[in-house]
Amino acid sequence: MHLKIVQAGDPVLREPARPLTPAEIASAEIQQLIELMRETMRDAPGVGLAAPQIGLPLQLAVIEDVAEVEATERRPVPFHVVVNPRLALGPESVDFFEGCLSVEGFQAVVCRARAVSVEALDHRGTPVKLEARGWYARILQHEIDHLNGTLYIDRMRSRTFSTARNAARYSAGVPIPELLAKLDPQRTPSS
C-alpha cells in the first residue's frame, strides 16, 4: 500500500509539525506509518519523505538514497528515520538543483549548507546525532524544512525554477555558477 503524497497548496505543507513523544514513536501506529512512508518514498521514487507530505503534521521523516554521484558529493545513505530533529548548519554553502515530491515535475537551484549536524530520535525513540555532508546534508535540510512548513521553493533561486524536463534539457552538465551567471547576472552564486 502506498500513501498519497500531497502537493503544494495543501495547508499541511505550510504548518509546523508537532513533535512525537517516545511512547508515540514506539506505538504500532507510528511503526506502521514508518513502513508505509518507506514504501511510498521508494515507489515515488524519492530520497526522503516527511510526514506532512502525506498529510500528517508530525515531526517524522524517512530518508534513503542508493545513488552515488561524485560531482554532488552524493553517496548511498541507508534507510533511517528522523523524529523531532534539531538542525545545525555548517558555514559553507553550495548551490544545486532540487526537486520535491510535493512540487511534482519542477526543479530549481537551492543554496544549502554543505555540512550539517542533526540531533533527533530514531525509529525506536532513541537519541541519535547525525553528521552529514554533500547530498545527504541537502536531503536532511530539505526534509527538516518540511517539518517546519517550508518548501524548497521558499529558498530557491527563482530564476532557475523550471520543469524537470527543461532542467534536464537546458541545464544538464552546465556548472551551477555558470548557470546562475547566465540566468541572473545581477546576483552572484553566494548571494
Owner of C-alpha cell 500531497: 6
The string of DSSP letters for 26-91 reads: HSHHHHHHHHHHHHHHHHTT-SEEEGGGGT--BSEEEEEE---BGGGTB--EEEEEEEEEEEEE-S
Average pLDDT (44-59) is 98
Instruction: Give domain limits for the chain.
Output: 11-183
CATH fold of the domain at 11-183? Peptide Deformylase (3.90.45)
Q: Is 143 a catalytic residue?
A: yes
1, pLDDT greater than 90: no
Average pLDDT (160-165) is 94
Q: Which of 64, 73, 98, 143 is catalytic?
A: 143
Average pLDDT (72-98) is 96
pLDDT bin (cut points 50, 70, 90) of residue 187 is: low
**95-128 residue pLDDT tens:** 999 999 999 999 999 999 999 999 999 999 999 9
pTM: 0.93
